[in-house]
Amino acid sequence: MTLGKPVTKAVIPAAGLGTRFLPATKAMPKEMLPVVDRPAIQYVVEEAVRAGLTDLLMITGRQKRALEDHFDREPHLERTLELKGDLDRLDAVRHASRLGPLHYVRQGDPKGLGHAVLCARQHVGDEPFAVLLGDDLIDERDELLSTMIEVQARTGGSVIALIEVDPTEISAYGCADVSPVEGQDHVRVNCLVEKPSIADAPSNLAVIGRYVLHPAVFDVLEETRPGRGGEIQLTDALQTLASSDCEGGGVYGVVFKGRRYDTGDKLSYLKAVISIASERVEFGEELKAWMKAFVS
């Protein structure tokens, strides 16, 4: 019986090929692309830690060594900074290695997000768990994951995060058909479609990269055949769970109205970097003044 078990584990899939960012991602994981002064993945790990998740598992693969190095100690660099008295930078370097402990599993062949999540099965076991994608950054001032964890505890099913997008953008996302749940601020998910055309989209609610999943998803993923793009899609497994009455069946959605930054493609990444940089106290005002002058 998994109902009521607290969520303590975060799975962070980072084994994708990052083809939309080639050639930058030929030898470097896209999750390591800098967003101002930290790699994108660090924001995601920090978010998981803020939500109280204490057991972090990253799904990695070939060309992903930099991810492990980033969250590890770097004694030589630390000593050099210490000797120079550069304590702020020393602190920043150490901070990344203190977020853990992080665990790693290699996906081997990146057969899709659903397959990446399935690689976490042995580590996660029979408890609900969070999944955070490195592409999506949630502003640290906005609550999302802890709300999703609460909804998972209340419903006993799986929970996805949704945002409203312009209908012309829905074909870039998984899309959800939902019904309200009386007296609750979450919704029930009736049906999910991966990257539908505008004509086939059941709504303008797009799935973003935060999930709190019931472990029943693992059995479903074992049976999920490659779908769109020849990949084993997490959306397809969730679609099966959405219409299941078994233990762990039922999918619920939290509609997120806060600030989210997409770093998965080049233009969205540039917008994310500018948005986050313009809020930084050290240089935000100077950057905004420069942008105004640049645009005019």
Q: Which secondary structure element, helix H or strand E, spans residue 96, and what is its range? A: helix 87-97
Residue the block writes with tokens 């990446």: 116
Measured from the CB of residue 182, what is the shortest distance to ligand UTP in angstroms?
Answer: 34
Measured from the CB of residue 231, what is the shortest distance to ligand UTP in angstroms?
Answer: 6
The Cα–Cα gap between 53 and 63 comes to: 27
Peptide bond into 128 cis (omega under 30): no
Measured from the CB of residue 261, what is the shortest distance to ligand UTP in angstroms?
Answer: 14
Binding mask 121-160 for ligand UTP (x = CB under 6 A): ------------xxx-------------------------
Residue whose CB is less far from ligand UTP, 31 or 186:
31
Binding mask 16-45 for ligand UTP (x = CB under 6 A): xxxxxx------------------------
Does 66 interact with ligand UTP (rule: CB under 6 A)? no
Of 264, 269, 272, 276, the one binding ligand UTP (CB under 6 A) is 264
Of 39, 112, 156, 253, the one binding ligand UTP (CB under 6 A) is 112
Residue whose CB is less far from ligand UTP, 256 or 269:
269
∠ CA 94-98-100, rounded to 5°: 145
- CB-based burial label for 32 (10 Å; 0-12, 13-18, 19+): buried
Cβ neighbours of residue 185 under 8 Å, at least 6 residues apart? 254
The answer to whether 238 and 160 are in contact (CB under 8 A) is: yes
Question: Could you list the residues that contact ligand UTP (CB under 6 A)?
Answer: 13-21, 59, 107, 110-113, 115-116, 133-135, 264
